[in-house]
Amino acid sequence: MNMPAPAEIEKAAALLRDGKLVAFPTETVYGLGADATNADAVLSIYETKGRPRFNPLIVHCADLAMAERFASFSPLARQLADAFWPGPLSIVLPLKSGHGLADVATAGLDTIALRVPDHPVAQALLRAADRPLAAPSANPSGKLSPTTAEQVQRGFSGRVPVLDGGPCKSGVESTIVTIDGDRIIQLRAGALAREEIERVTGLVVSQAETGAKISAPGMLLSHYAPNAHMRLDTSPQPGEAYLAFGAATPFDGITRNLSESGDLHEAARNLFSMLHELDATGVTMIVVAPIPETGLGEAINDRLRRAAAPRS
């Protein structure tokens, strides 16, 4: 972790209050932040990312008290917030009337995705800006999510100021859930394992069906796409790059290993950085070894399948 000087945080907060964008670290990935109450500021997120308008944003809050200004928390929603905030869980909830958030932040929906990030730099920035911050991952739309300040700089060719908090701890985006009565529905697998939510609540967390009304647009196929094509396989051929997991098949070409010891947390943390590195070599095919479909493996495989999906 790297902590920018207080003056740097204050400068970034002033930019945000002035309607400008600032990229900042969270425990999951770097976010491209804007004042969520300022529609012009939020629109420049969409423009900077080249993001389709219908894709709503997660609004980051300093704490539960700030989040409660914008959405109605059922007892179950509050239980989730108490258990997992600050942390990598985004909760989709009904908007409160008079919430004051820009419509473009929610892409016109009557619900809002809220999260309280667990990163000292994100926390310091939220408190200094004294605003809720809409923040998608800080990458051009459809590209890899950044886990270092340098990747953000490269992705936007230095056009966006970035607070450098060092590499992100978790490396995959937050888990997104919504609540329907006494049911918890997972909209996106992410850094908080579904089993963890089930353990704490004693409820079964169901999976949103693709194509369902409440599915997250970020679940679109080919959302997380490197320039290289990808294939899920354990036999890389000469000229291809190989992203291994666990005890690797010996291979002469360019190789990275998500986790030699088969640790899914380590693999999640390495996922985007290693894909970035392999993609930067200019190879046309990245071969990715299979990852177990348990715990964080679900989120990793979700991203890998999307990255490997046929491009339109």
Residues of this chain that bind Mg ion (CB under 5 A): 137
The answer to whether residue 270 forms part of the interface with ligand TXA (CB under 6 A) is no
Select the span of 3-11, 96-104, 105-113, 238-246 touching ligand TXA (CB under 6 A): 105-113
The answer to whether residue 106 forms part of the interface with ligand TXA (CB under 6 A) is yes
The answer to whether residue 218 forms part of the interface with ligand TXA (CB under 6 A) is yes
Site pattern 7..36 for ligand TXA (x: CB under 6 A): -------------------x-xx-x-----
The answer to whether residue 52 forms part of the interface with ligand TXA (CB under 6 A) is no
- Pick one of 37, 38, 137, 259: the residue that binds ligand TXA (CB under 6 A): 137
Give SS3 for 234: coil
Return the number of the residue (114 or 228) whose C-beta is nearest ligand TXA: 114
Nearest approach in angstroms of CB 60 to ligand TXA is 6
The answer to whether residue 48 forms part of the interface with ligand TXA (CB under 6 A) is no
> In sequence order, what are the residues at sequence separation of 6 or more whose Cβ sits closer than 8 angstroms to the Cβ of residue 307?
222, 224, 225, 226, 230, 275
The answer to whether residue 186 forms part of the interface with ligand TXA (CB under 6 A) is no
CA separation for the pair 12, 35 (Å, rounded): 12
The answer to whether residue 123 forms part of the interface with ligand TXA (CB under 6 A) is no
The answer to whether residue 268 forms part of the interface with ligand TXA (CB under 6 A) is no
Residue 283 and residue 237 in contact, taking contact as beta carbons nearer than 8 Å: no
> In sequence order, what are the residues at sequence separation of 6 or more whose Cβ sits closer than 8 angstroms to the Cβ of residue 36?
42, 57, 59, 101, 102, 105, 131, 132, 133, 134
- Pick one of 56, 87, 155, 226: the residue that binds ligand TXA (CB under 6 A): 56
Whose CA is closest to 249, among 279, 203, 220, 288? Answer: 288
CA separation for the pair 167, 26 (Å, rounded): 9
Nearest approach in angstroms of CB 33 to ligand TXA is 8
Of all residues in the shown chain, the one whose CB is closest to ligand TXA is 218
Residue 264 corresponds to which tokens in the numbers above?
């899914």
CA separation for the pair 84, 158 (Å, rounded): 34
The answer to whether residue 111 forms part of the interface with ligand TXA (CB under 6 A) is yes
CA separation for the pair 73, 94 (Å, rounded): 8
Return the number of the residue (109 or 232) whose C-beta is nearest ligand TXA: 109
Give SS3 for 224: coil
CA separation for the pair 109, 102 (Å, rounded): 11
Residues near ligand TXA, by CB under 6 A: 26, 28-29, 31, 55-58, 90, 92, 106, 109, 111-113, 135-137, 173-174, 176, 187-188, 216-218
